[in-house]
Chain A
């Protein structure tokens, strides 16, 4: 298992109920792996524990069982090796834009001179298109710009892996698109390994190499892992012309709308092997949408690991 860059093994999380007793696990026996340079998106309805999984990877929360190994080392706390972009940007409002990124940079390289830090931060802020706003306070920026600062801050520490907790959730569609393009550009340029939570199916198709689909919680599981088989240099403007796009999109939407709810009682759940969740490539099926609940059989053609 340690051949993977990051491997998550047997992860589960139980929160205590109001009277202090352990409740039903939010998710249990979660296994997946991420290779170096991969972009992974995780999709699922609220309450399936996506954020908890991300927090465990970030080291901010402890799993009730199981664990994660990154680069041959167990994750047992927060680390500069993993940069986090938080849902609500989490910029410190009393610092300038530059101050926020410099705070992170200084944490990473305490011995750097002030000029060195400033130069480094400016590079990353220019990368997200904020070179003109480095001396502004976060309150003077729009939501999209704030989130860009958050992204620059996470990239500036040059982490081994980037964790993004629904970073564009609060942005309008137009801004979201622009920042997605920027993120894509930077990730490709830096070969960054990314784990990202999203609710947006199009966003996942655009950015991800693989999409992890979670069934509904409690007792959420990885229902399947969808490989995005479209060429990697896809762009937001062009990708919907690719015939694969709608097959993948329909597959994902179909899962979110229908199968994620009924997953627990379905045939697929009976066959479910937590250690090897089905890996599917809906983009490659020549025609039609695979229907989830009646057809364990036709779906098998796309399932590549069974």
Chain B
């Protein structure tokens, strides 16, 4: 029964996809232009020194498809600062996200532990967290650029600051919510604090902590595109902005799809990790 449901869902998905592409195709068919208009357009194109076909409006699926083929057939070429393969661009973005995320982890997990263990720290730090949390990570950009004086580091900082809050809050929440019984077991066994932290509290809170990490990663991947548009140089966000400046919409659509796919892969990765630490009672 389960396989048939999966199968039916897959067929439906494919159908929706085909409908979408078909509609798109029909909608982007070049309108029949009058002969006069065509002549004017051709003349204009000639004046601009370009072929007539480049002036068309929203790109058709065929054009976007050829952009896919072009970029995916050679993802790692490097022809200078403004022309790198998509693999290299995504690689740069992942590197920034990874670095910022890891730094946030190093900060958020221990601090979250402390906050979760101590009601005093929870109360004392809560106002700061509540104020800092809703700030758009990009709002930090000017400050980061000014103090860090390096666009690369600033990008990483923005990822750091946006990954921090969900991880911190979920870690604190998970640690504070560890079943009293388990803590009491550890207490009656006179387990030392380090062993208690790693063998009781960490595994007990792991599902909640990982949920926080998953949310953080999702946000980081959203923010990196905007950050790279601002900072420039490399990365998938810069790629989108660069292709927009080139008015190469097929490439923009290709890049958008790539962002979605990579984001999904990251989320799936964390989903798998989450399954790994989840326990059944």
Supposing A92-B200, A137-B280 touch, asked if A107 and B182 sit within 8 A by C-beta, the answer is no
Partner of A84 from the list B184, B203, B277, B280 (CB cut-off 8 Å) is B184
Chain B: residues with Cβ within 8 Å of the partner, total of 20
Supposing A90-B181, A92-B204, A94-B204 touch, asked if A78 and B188 sit within 8 A by C-beta, the answer is yes
Closest to A100 in B: B185
Contacts between the two chains (Cβ within 8 Å), count = 61
The answer to whether B279 has its CB under 8 Å from any CB of chain A is yes
Residues on B with C-beta less than 8 A from A107 are 189-191, 195
Residues on B with C-beta less than 8 A from A82 are 188
Whether the Cβ atoms of B188 and A92 lie closer than 8 Å is no
Give CA–CA (A170, B4) in the complex, Å.
41
Residues on B with C-beta less than 8 A from A83 are 188
Whether the Cβ atoms of A138 and B281 lie closer than 8 Å is yes
Supposing A88-B181, A92-B182, A139-B279 touch, asked if A60 and B188 sit within 8 A by C-beta, the answer is yes
Closest to A55 in B: B184
Supposing A60-B184, A90-B184 touch, asked if A157 and B204 sit within 8 A by C-beta, the answer is no
Over the window 75-98 of chain A, the binary record of Cβ atoms lying under 8 Å from chain B Cβ atoms (1 yes, 0 no) is: 000111011101010101111000
Whether the Cβ atoms of B190 and A79 lie closer than 8 Å is yes
Give CA–CA (A111, B204) in the complex, Å.
26
Partner of B280 from the list A78, A79, A103, A139 (CB cut-off 8 Å) is A139
Over the window 173-202 of chain B, the binary record of Cβ atoms lying under 8 Å from chain A Cβ atoms (1 yes, 0 no) is: 000000101101101111100010001100
Residues on A with C-beta less than 8 A from B204 are 92, 94
The answer to whether A59 has its CB under 8 Å from any CB of chain B is yes
Give CA–CA (A139, B280) in the complex, Å.
6
Residues on A with C-beta less than 8 A from B182 are 90, 92
Whether the Cβ atoms of B281 and A93 lie closer than 8 Å is yes
Residues on A with C-beta less than 8 A from B203 are 92, 94-95
Residues on B with C-beta less than 8 A from A78 are 184, 187-190
The answer to whether A108 has its CB under 8 Å from any CB of chain B is yes
Give CA–CA (A92, B202) in the complex, Å.
12
The answer to whether A196 has its CB under 8 Å from any CB of chain B is no
Residues on A with C-beta less than 8 A from B277 are 94
The answer to whether A104 has its CB under 8 Å from any CB of chain B is yes
The answer to whether A58 has its CB under 8 Å from any CB of chain B is yes
Over the window 90-127 of chain A, the binary record of Cβ atoms lying under 8 Å from chain B Cβ atoms (1 yes, 0 no) is: 10111100000001100110000000000000000000
Query: Would you give the shortest CB distance from A25 to chain B, in whole angstroms?
Result: 23
Give CA–CA (A83, B185) in the complex, Å.
9
Whether the Cβ atoms of A86 and B189 lie closer than 8 Å is no
Whether the Cβ atoms of A93 and B279 lie closer than 8 Å is yes
Partner of A58 from the list B181, B188, B280, B281 (CB cut-off 8 Å) is B188
Whether the Cβ atoms of A103 and B189 lie closer than 8 Å is yes
Partner of B281 from the list A79, A80, A84, A139 (CB cut-off 8 Å) is A139
Over the window 263-281 of chain B, the binary record of Cβ atoms lying under 8 Å from chain A Cβ atoms (1 yes, 0 no) is: 0000000000000010111
Over the window 88-101 of chain B, the binary record of Cβ atoms lying under 8 Å from chain A Cβ atoms (1 yes, 0 no) is: 00000000000000
Query: Would you give the shortest CB distance from B8 to chain A, in whole angstroms?
Result: 32
Give CA–CA (A139, B281) in the complex, Å.
5
Give CA–CA (A239, B99) in the complex, Å.
70
Residues on B with C-beta less than 8 A from A59 are 187-188
Give CA–CA (A94, B202) in the complex, Å.
11
Whether the Cβ atoms of A157 and B187 lie closer than 8 Å is no
Residues from 127 to 150 in A contacting B, C-beta threshold 8 Å: 137-139
Whether the Cβ atoms of A80 and B184 lie closer than 8 Å is no
Residues on B with C-beta less than 8 A from A94 are 203-204, 206, 277, 279
Whether the Cβ atoms of A108 and B281 lie closer than 8 Å is no
Closest to B199 in A: A103
Supposing A138-B281, A139-B279 touch, asked if A90 and B185 sit within 8 A by C-beta, the answer is yes
Give CA–CA (A94, B179) in the complex, Å.
13
Give CA–CA (A107, B189) in the complex, Å.
6
Supposing A93-B279, A93-B280, A139-B280 touch, asked if A157 and B185 sit within 8 A by C-beta, the answer is no
Supposing A90-B182, A93-B280, A138-B281 touch, asked if A157 and B189 sit within 8 A by C-beta, the answer is yes
Residues on A with C-beta less than 8 A from B279 are 93-94, 137, 139
Partner of B181 from the list A79, A86, A157 (CB cut-off 8 Å) is A86
Supposing A137-B280, A139-B280 touch, asked if A92 and B189 sit within 8 A by C-beta, the answer is no
Residues from 256 to 299 in A contacting B, C-beta threshold 8 Å: none
Give CA–CA (A103, B192) in the complex, Å.
12
**New A-B contacts (16) at CB < 8 Å, excluding given A59-B188, A104-B189:** A60-B184, A78-B184, A79-B188, A79-B190, A80-B188, A82-B188, A86-B185, A90-B179, A90-B181, A90-B184, A90-B185, A92-B200, A93-B279, A94-B203, A107-B190, A157-B189
B residues contacting A by CB (< 8 A) are 179, 181-182, 184-185, 187-191, 195, 199-200, 203-204, 206, 277, 279-281
Top 9 A-B pairs ranked by shortest CB distance?
A90-B181, A139-B280, A107-B189, A94-B279, A93-B279, A78-B187, A78-B188, A94-B203, A93-B281
A–B complex contacts, Cβ < 8 Å, 28 sampled: A59-B187, A59-B188, A60-B187, A60-B188, A78-B190, A79-B188, A80-B189, A80-B190, A82-B188, A86-B184, A90-B182, A90-B184, A92-B203, A92-B204, A93-B279, A94-B206, A94-B277, A95-B203, A103-B189, A103-B199, A104-B189, A107-B189, A107-B190, A107-B195, A108-B189, A137-B279, A139-B280, A157-B189
